[in-house]
Structure 1
Amino acid sequence: MDFDLEDLVEDFGVPGLIFGLGAIVLAPIFGTALAKVGKPIAKTAIKTSIVLYGKTKTVLAEASESFEDLLAETKAELAEGGEPKALEGS
């Protein structure tokens, strides 16, 4: 397969080639700057995710405990011979 500049110009156009070459030239300059800015942002996002995970885990544990308590009370009432009450609907 031969490299042909004319085919590239036809496929991507002149603006596409200029943009691509500009990106190649400027990548080392802006790449390090973006990495310096991006790393703290990524760390903050990870820390926030860890905190939210912990809070969600706590809330779900409390909800599970409440449901288990309600289930145990209901089973105890049924064991005492209580009839299940039908909900009064419309």
Structure 2
Amino acid sequence: MPSFELSKLQSVTAPRALSDTDIAAGRPPAGESNRTGVPSGAQGVSIEVSGSLDTQRAPVDNDRVAQIREALKDGSYPLVPTEIADAMIAAQLSLGIGR
């Protein structure tokens, strides 16, 4: 894992949830300005993004997402801490984080 000198890192703000509409429109979270997040020394650097990536979307079952959201709201979704922890550890191992 790379090491970082804390004094050289930019300030980090807590992440805020964006709606699908905000993401599609490229809008920043409510209450935040449209910041680039790019260090001032890196201004003017251009990045080319393939247009074919714009049309590719992950397959999402919107009905299932709505069911899970509703279950979370009413407290009926089964949250098992040991299963969550196991999944987080498995993801960490598969991504090679922390080695």
TM above 0.5, one fold? no
| Larger fraction in helix | 1
The normalised TM-score by structure 2 is: 0.21
Greater Rg by CA? 1
Higher relative contact order (Cα pairs below 8 Å, separated by 6+ residues): 2
The normalised TM-score by structure 1 is: 0.23
